[in-house]
Amino acid sequence: MRIPDELRYTKEHEWLRIEGTDGMIGITDFAQDALGDVVFVELPAVGTVLRAGQTFGVVESNKTVSDLFAPVDGKVTAVNEGLATQPEVVNADPYGAGWMIRLAITGDVTSADLLDAAAYTAHVDSEQAK
Amino acid sequence: MSGYSPHTPTDVAAMLEAIGVGSIDDLVKHVPAHLRASAGIDLPAGLTEPELRARFAALAARNTGADGRAVFLGAGAYPHFSPGVVNQILLRSEFATAYTPYQPEVSQGTLQAIFEFQTFAALLLGLEVANASMYDGASATAEAVLMARRLLPDRRVVLLSRALHPHYREVVATYLRGLGDVEVHEVPFGDDGRIDLAALRNQLGTDTLCVVLGYPNVFGVIEDVPTAAAAIHDAGALCITATCEPLALALVRSPGSAGADIAVAEGQSLGLPVSYGGPGVGLFATHDRFLRSMPGRIVGETVDGDGRRGFVLTLATREQHIRRERATSNICTNQGLCALAVTVYLSMLGRHGLRRLARVNYQSAHATAARLDAAGLTLPFKAPFFNEFVVRSDASSRWEQLAMQEGIVAGFPLGRWYPELGDALLVCVTETHTASQIDQLVRTLQPAAVRSAGGR
Amino acid sequence: MLLDEPLIFERGSDGRPGWEVPGDTGSAEFGLPPELRREDDLAGMPEVGELEVLRHFVRMSQWNLSAATTLYPLGSCTMKYNPVVNEDLARLPGFAALHPLVPDALAQGALELIEVLEQALAAVCGLDAVSLQPAAGAQGELTGMLVVRAHHVDRGSPRTKVLIPASAHGTNPASSALCGYDVAEVPVNARGLLDADAVAAIMDESVAALMVTNPNTLGLFEEEMEAVARAVHAKGGLVYMDGANMNALMGVAKPGDMGVDVMQFNLHKTFSTPHGGGGPGAGPVAVREILRAYLPTPRLVRDGSGLRWSDDMPKSVGRVRSFHGNFGILVRALGYIERLGGPGLAEATRLAILNANYLRARLEGTYHLPFTSPSMHECVFSDRNLAEHGVHTLDVAKRLLDHGFYAPTIYFPLVVKGALMIEPTETESKATLDEFVGAMLSIAEEARTDPNRVREAPHDTRLSRLDETRAARRPVLRWRPSVTPEQP
């Protein structure tokens, strides 16, 4: 299971890659593996304003459906249109081609309740132990 | 031992021994004793099969289902002939006694039949995609309104045509009762029996969620859906049509082509008996782009491990067993066997048989209407109709008496649903009505003066 | 041997006349203006001969396993024998050809049937009034919860919350949400049961009702049901019981005696009407006297001239479907009830409990039993003992198909990981149960000796495992006429 060092994470298994004032968001390798085959991803419209912790979409596998939570405040500037026809990319490349939305970050990423790779690894370990 | 259980005393003893208890009572002794003590069922002892048949035959004989009365009732339930093949297939235990096809490898019969049903529903309603069916036309209408609310969550006014079947209007109101943020208003009908387009345009606004039209409506009248839909879409709302008599759709423009965003229908008329109003089956179709908001079970095509075509329940994440309180509907299954009846019926009639049957209905009803018109009766609504129409007659005041004494149920007295239509009768004529029954209808309804003059 | 069969739309040839009725004048003339006429002349509808149609559906029927074919141990669904005599009863012309809007005087037999069935269901559950209108269990739940809401509205406020145990069927939260309620989960204790103290602790005056299934979805009787009900009533709440598992209670305990205020029956479960591949069912609602006024309209009333329908119910929640419910299903259900009688219904429940406990005793140990409280009419195992061989619940289910049995309910209730929920019903003989036990034990043995054989099951069905992911990712939900001409 991959947990790249350079990303920030939520306890709900989203990742955030900070690129200047923008943030790319997707779900983690652990999340895609737990979901199983992803069959559908519902994403917000470009321009949607999100608060940290707010749901911005859903990801569905055959048997379950999970909400997607914004890691940080921001405005949606792009969504991954390719997932509409190729949801399997979320399974194959969760940190790359399987990205979901791009945000213009308006919130403070340092004060946000985000985990670094080590803390997220510990969080995943504790979830698996349940 | 009880009626349908095969246990012998020896079996029971062996089973109790395997479990390690002395009696069946021991298996329920964790149920509080006072509950068990008062749980006796105060009903008579059981009947044998011959006794049961006799008892039910006697009950059935006290109804007018098959006593030769001429019954000109439609109004949401339509008498039609059904090919023998339909009943034969419904009696196949493999279809009748299976459950929702959770294990697709041993449920392909049910699954392929539903896939065919979805195709028939989409074709007939003129839309791209249909679900595996709903309980009936009325609850399908309510589900369509709930779906519209999911699609346009910021709007809160539902407009129902007053010429939509009153049961459908009532069920919509019931389903919305718990959701306090939605208002339901009626749009009046005009002098020709169709929705009053001027009133509709007045009532439409930026808050309008959807408009529901009967198609044909409760008066049997074919609404001008294209014009209404254009006005509805101009207001940014969704157009929903509800069809009680889907046989009409063999002749009239399909709801989808006419502009409906969601089209529903009661499928009873397509192969099911009227059966005192149920079971029926709701057809439900919409555009591809609304698929994820559609309620109900859906079957999709796929392949098995060896690449052979097969069918499975799919898109289940919209449903209650996964999404629970956030599901698109609380519906659990579909109306499987009734959907099968519709599928077999439409397969049997085929493209040409269905069109021909619709033509027979149309012509029979119109010929009857023309005779009533010639007899001096008023047919108040001038808009086109299919196999059902409204006629004003003083016979409406003697409706029950005529049914009891003269053996004719001369339509439905609309005053019960529409006080403003006091002496109007809603008359349905299908291929099941004989020439002599129609003669009797004309004699019964014609004005007293004509009757006493011996005219027809 | 099972024969293949294409879609009906792929059969037939252009120009077959289709089924005929008398009265066709052959005239194509009718007075519809062109803009209202069908735009496509029903293009795409099949044109198939009668024998082909019959053969099409007979072949497809043979691809199904059904309760008439084999043991169908689908937990929570009560797949008991559906007596064939009831098919004849529902098809009596006096019932089947009876139009729902005839004068009540011409439907007295049907109305009496409805009255007798209402009374019989009340006698079974110990409540005071019954409406037969809801078309299915989930619609019964919706109706019942609307009744709950109407009761509270009458007392000033609908309240905001419904308490539902984690083990509940998904329709419970979905029906509550449809009534505008937020759902709060109630925990179950280590024995798999509700604690009255736990309910009392979260119960307050914002709670409209507790929705409870008894026996619960683990097949366990809620032993503290009366105390739970008292805790709910103490704060002015109502107790809704999902009657899906009523087959465990007839003659054993009455919901009305346990403090239940409102419940739905599933006539297609407890009262043997055929499941029909998913419906039609019927979901009558029973209520305590204080809730009678809120039941759906119309209501059946008896006066000097006999039975009639009355809409005079100002407090009613209104109508939930057209006409009077799934009448054809009501006929079958009453046929079942009168064939068995009061004592026979109680005996059916006793034997259903015996059968479930027999399966439990034979399978326990080999299969892991997560909750060991006494079972009623069904028992829930898990796949824990097989996991070390890489065999899971889905694999056991699929392998059972090779043994000629339908599968249990799997992965439900959600509170058991890898659940296998088995409900044999009372109409299965000991011999059949023994065969089923033999199959289950041999699968467990095979999981140890040849796990791949189990993981790749089914092997003997017409199709092997179907690709559900493909179906969901690229939905193909109907046949479409081919748009490109076939290649030579």
Q: Are strands C379-382 and C419-422 parallel, antiparallel or unpaired?
A: antiparallel
CB pairs under 8 A between A and B: 16
> Which residues of chain A are within 8 Å of residue C468 when distances are taken between CB atoms?
62
Give the model's pLDDT for residue C14.
79
What per-residue confidence (pLDDT) applies to B455? 45
Say what the pLDDT of residue B1 is.
43
| Per-residue model confidence (pLDDT) at position B67 | 75
What average pLDDT does this structure show over A59-70? Answer: 88
Q: Mean pLDDT, to the nearest integer, of A83-94?
A: 95
Report the C-alpha gap between A70 and A67 in whole angstroms: 10
Q: How near does any CA of chain C get to the CA of B79, in Å?
A: 8
Spatial separation of the C-alpha atoms in residues B169 and B418, rounded to whole Å: 13
Query: How close, in Å, is residue A120 to chain B by CA atoms?
Result: 27
As a whole-number percent, the residues of chain C with pLDDT over 90 amount to 90
Please report which confidence band the pLDDT of residue C33 belongs to, taking 50, 70 and 90 as the band edges.
confident
Please state which of the ranges B166-170, B234-238, C29-33, C280-284 shows the lowest mean pLDDT: C29-33
Please state, in angstroms and as integers, the Cα–Cα distance from residue A129 to each residue in A102, A125, B302, following that order: 33, 6, 36
Are the beta carbons of A116 and A6 closer than 8 angstroms? no
- DSSP code string of B79-105: -----HHHHHHHT-HHHHT--S-SSGG
Residue C488 has pLDDT above 70, yes or no: no
Give residue B329's pLDDT band: very low, low, confident or very high (50, 70, 90): confident
Q: Are B271 and B342 in contact (CB under 8 A)?
A: yes
Q: What is the pLDDT of residue B328?
A: 80
Q: Do A40 and C473 touch (CB under 8 A)?
A: yes
pLDDT per position as a tens digit, B238-280: 999 999 999 999 999 999 999 999 999 999 999 999 999 999 9
The answer, for C341 touching chain B at a CB cutoff of 8 Å, is yes
Q: Are strands B208-214 and B238-243 parallel, antiparallel or unpaired?
A: parallel
Percent of chain C residues topping a pLDDT of 70: 98
Does B285 have pLDDT greater than 60?
A: yes
C472: contact with A, CB 8 A cutoff: yes
Q: How confident is the model at residue C115 (pLDDT cuts 50, 70, 90)?
A: very high
- Chain A residues with CB under 8 Å of a chain B CB are 39-40, 42, 60-65
State yes or no: pLDDT of A108 exceeds 90. no
Q: What is the DSSP string of B289-305?
A: GGGGG--S--EEEEEBT
Q: What is the pLDDT of residue C483?
A: 58
* Cα–Cα distance measured from residue B410 to residue A32, given in angstroms and rounded to the nearest whole number: 65
- Across B73-80, average pLDDT: 98
pLDDT band, very low/low/confident/very high, at B456 (cuts 50, 70, 90): very low
Residue C485: pLDDT above 70? no
Buried b or exposed e, range B293-316, using 16+ CB within 10 angstroms: bbbbbbbbbbebeeeebbbbbbbb
pLDDT cut 70: percent of chain B above it: 97
pLDDT above 70 (res C188): yes
Roughly what angle, to the nearest 10 degrees, separates helices C108-125 and B49-61? 130
Q: Give the tens place of pLDDT for each residue, B192-245.
A: 999 999 999 999 999 999 999 999 999 999 999 999 999 999 999 999 999 999
CB C34 within 8 A of CB C74: no
Q: H helices within C204-325, ranges in order?
A: 225-234, 255-258
Residue C486 has pLDDT above 50, yes or no: no
- For residue C422 the two structure tokens come to 């088995």
Greater model confidence, A30 or B448: A30
> pLDDT band at residue B63, thresholds of 50, 70 and 90?
very high
Per the omega criterion (within 30 degrees of 0), is the bond before C475 cis?
A: no
Which pLDDT belongs to residue B320?
A: 79
pLDDT tens profile C278-305: 999 999 999 999 999 999 999 999 998 8
Beta strands B129-130 and B282-286, pairing class = antiparallel
If you average pLDDT over residues A92-105, what whole number do you get? 96
Q: Residue range B388-407: average pLDDT?
A: 95
pLDDT score at A113 = 81
Q: With beta carbons under 8 A apart, name residues in chain C contacting B174.
A: 146, 296, 317-320
Q: Which pLDDT does position B391 carry in this prediction?
A: 98
Q: Are C454 and C442 in contact (CB under 8 A)?
A: no
Contact C19 B353 (CB under 8 A): yes
pLDDT in tens, C70-99: 999 999 999 999 999 999 999 999 999 999
How far is residue C174's CA from residue C176's CA, in Å, rounded to a whole number? 5
Chain A residues close to C392, C-beta within 8 Å: none
User: Which is nearest to C120 in space by CA: C425, C346, C341?
Assistant: C341
Task: Provide φ and ψ at A40, rounded to 5°.
Answer: -160, 140
Average pLDDT over residues C414-439: 96
pLDDT grade for A127, boundaries at 50, 70 and 90: confident
Q: How far apart are CA A61 and CA A37, in angstroms?
A: 5
The minimal CB distance from B322 to the residues A40, A42, A65 is found for: A65
Vertex C374: Cα angle to C369 and C377 (nearest 5):
90
Beta carbons of A64 and B292 less than 8 Å apart: no
CA B408, CA B410: separation in Å to the nearest integer? 6
Q: Write phi, then psi, for C185 (nearest 5 degrees).
A: -85, 140
Q: Taken in order A95, A99, A101, A102, is the CA torsion positive or negative?
A: positive
Going by pLDDT thresholds of 50, 70 and 90, the confidence category of residue A16 is very high
Contact A63 B292 (CB under 8 A): no
Minimum distance, in Å, between the CA of residue A109 and any CA atom of chain C: 33
How far apart, in whole angstroms, are the C-alpha atoms of residue B283 and residue B137?
A: 7
Residue C135 Cα, gap to closest chain A Cα (Å)? 27
d(CA C221, CA C214): 6
Per-residue burial over B369-378, b = 16 or more CB atoms within 10 Å of its CB, e = otherwise: bebbeebebe
pLDDT for C26 equals: 67
- Report the mean per-residue pLDDT for chain B: 95
Local confidence band at B451 (pLDDT 50, 70, 90 cut-offs): low
Per-residue model confidence (pLDDT) at position A112: 64
Residue with tokens 């392909």: B108
CA angle B277, C277, C45 (to 5 degrees): 75
Q: Which chains touch C (3 or more CB pairs under 8 A)?
A: A, B
